[in-house]
Amino acid sequence: MTLRSSRIPLGRPRAASLAFLVILIALLAGFVPAARPQAAAAKPRIIMYRGLGTWVDMYDAKAWSDPVAAVADMASHGVRTLYLETANFHYPATASMFSHGKITAADFIRACHAEGIKIVAWYLPSFDGTARDLTRSMAAIDYRTPDGQRFDSFALDIEWTKVKPATLRTTRLLALSAKIRAAAGGAYPLGAIIMSPVGMTRSPSIWPGFPYAGLAGIYDVFVPMGYYTYHGDGYANAYNDTRGNVAIIRAKTGLPSIPIHVIGGDAAKSSPSETLAYVRALRETGCIGGSLYDWATTTPESWAALTNVRANPTQTPALPLAVGYLPAVGNCPSERTHPKEAFYQTTGQNGPRVLSYRLYDAQAGEVRLLVNWKSVATLPAGPAKKWTTVRSLTIPAGYWNATGANVIGFVAKGDLGAWSVWGVRAVTLTPAAR
């Protein structure tokens, strides 16, 4: 996570920015991976990166003055994970990096766990080649409260670019990451907080040859600093920027189902419509979670939109699916990685269209149908524990975009811990008879 004192905006608004992202997403949609990076030795549980998160850095006086009150406020907004900065390479002494006077990281850990919130430590390294970066990273991983509690995960904040050339920086990043993984063990969950992929694409001199694939072989989750508020204004910018970041990570790693938790815009600068667009982009792409930076500056309007950030599992196949994808998705006997919702995408549509589909174990009022985020219908019930026959529904022209993409969503009741049993398959779209 970017320090307040060292934030690096990767790309400023440009007249062609929207067109750039639309083209980028279209190109990456057809990407065929050449090779699969070597996976970590084990697959840790990464539930702490799922769902809604929030951030506290070392300079957040409001949070550090009263961790119990801060965490209680987070819980009231449905936050599932706090990302807490334990140190950065600027900090003068490792021995005291977990305390701010009488308040320590232990206060946050205890408060979070008492509220049922996970807590992830994060550290900003310098890549200067000294032992400091490894020492401070492992200090967070090894940290224990007096009663034996610990951070639930550790994430490395990969954004400092002062080391030149970039090849040396990359070498040191991968060496540090490998040492952290070896010391933490294959079963310990690690997150890679990376600069905005869209920003790095726009400004390739920032970190040429950024090692997406190498990091994917070490870390369990990508946590990109999307920061759409640095790249423009408005709904379309936030939406396209978020989807662009997901597309780039999937393409560069060659792993369409790689777990991604996107950090959205600067909370203080994100308008309600921008936050809404960001959340919709997260849902359409099936990201495992999301958050704005940071807790202290998130507005009530943004908190309201963030309640719809999903706590998704890692999904296979990755969303959005192409209209015409026939196999089942959902939370049904043959597939359980889309337990809340599934989104399909198609190209521009002119006039009314007939949507055909099948549902599994459909209960009355259980599944809603959305087209471009407009509510179309609550789908009727079907036979218990069976698939319906093919159903068809005519959707009027007013729901469709004549140019660009169209997104169709099937959204089920239930949430993490109480998922609904449901499924959808055989989704197709044809022109309505005239």
Q: Is the pLDDT of residue 74 over 70?
A: yes
**Predicted local distance difference test score (pLDDT) of residue 155:** 98
Q: What are phi and psi of 365, to 5 degrees?
A: 75, 15
* Largest pairwise CA distance in the chain: 75
Model confidence at 17, in pLDDT bands (50, 70, 90)? very low
Strand 367-371 versus strand 406-412 pairing type: antiparallel
Mean of pLDDT values over 196-221: 98
- pLDDT digit string (tens) for 159-176? 999 999 999 999 999 999
Strand 261-266 versus strand 289-293 pairing type: parallel
Model confidence at 43, in pLDDT bands (50, 70, 90)? confident
Q: What are phi and psi of 374, to 5 degrees?
A: -105, 135
**By the 8 A CB rule, do 173 and 161 touch?**
no
**Predicted local distance difference test score (pLDDT) of residue 255:** 98
Whether the link from the prior residue into 317 is cis, omega within 30° of 0, is yes
Q: Measured between alpha carbons, how far is 266 from 95 in angstroms, rounded to an integer? A: 31
Mean of pLDDT values over 378-396: 98
**By the 8 A CB rule, do 73 and 65 touch?**
no
Model confidence at 205, in pLDDT bands (50, 70, 90)? very high
- pLDDT digit string (tens) for 237-273? 999 999 999 999 999 999 999 999 999 999 999 999 9
Q: Is the pLDDT of residue 70 over 60?
A: yes
Q: What are phi and psi of 53, to 5 degrees?
A: -120, 175
**Predicted local distance difference test score (pLDDT) of residue 1:** 56
**Predicted local distance difference test score (pLDDT) of residue 93:** 63
Q: Measured between alpha carbons, how far is 234 from 338 in angstroms, rounded to an integer? A: 29
**Predicted local distance difference test score (pLDDT) of residue 30:** 34
**Predicted local distance difference test score (pLDDT) of residue 25:** 38
**Predicted local distance difference test score (pLDDT) of residue 99:** 78
CA angle, 87 then 88 then 90, to 5°: 125
Q: Measured between alpha carbons, how far is 390 from 145 in angstroms, rounded to an integer? A: 57
Tokens of 42: 């084990």
Strand 221-224 versus strand 190-194 pairing type: parallel
Model confidence at 96, in pLDDT bands (50, 70, 90)? low
Q: What are phi and psi of 424, to 5 degrees?
A: -135, 145
Model confidence at 29, in pLDDT bands (50, 70, 90)? very low
Model confidence at 101, in pLDDT bands (50, 70, 90)? confident
Model confidence at 302, in pLDDT bands (50, 70, 90)? very high
- Domains, the chain: 17-306 (3.20.20.80), 321-431 (2.60.120.260)
Number of other CB atoms surrounding residue 3 within 10 Å: 17
Which is more confidently placed, 308 or 41?
308
pTM for the structure as a whole: 0.91
Q: In whole numbers, what is the pLDDT of the chain averaged over residues? A: 91
Q: Measured between alpha carbons, how far is 193 from 52 in angstroms, rounded to an integer? A: 16
CA angle, 53 then 217 then 345, to 5°: 60
Model confidence at 91, in pLDDT bands (50, 70, 90)? confident
- pLDDT digit string (tens) for 316-360? 999 999 999 999 999 999 999 999 999 999 999 999 999 999 999
Q: Is the pLDDT of residue 113 over 50?
A: yes
Helix ranges (DSSP H) in 120-224: 132-142, 166-184, 197-202, 212-216
Spell out the residues 6+ positions from residue 327 whose beta carbon is closer than 8 angstroms to its own: 334, 335, 425
**By the 8 A CB rule, do 290 and 54 touch?**
no
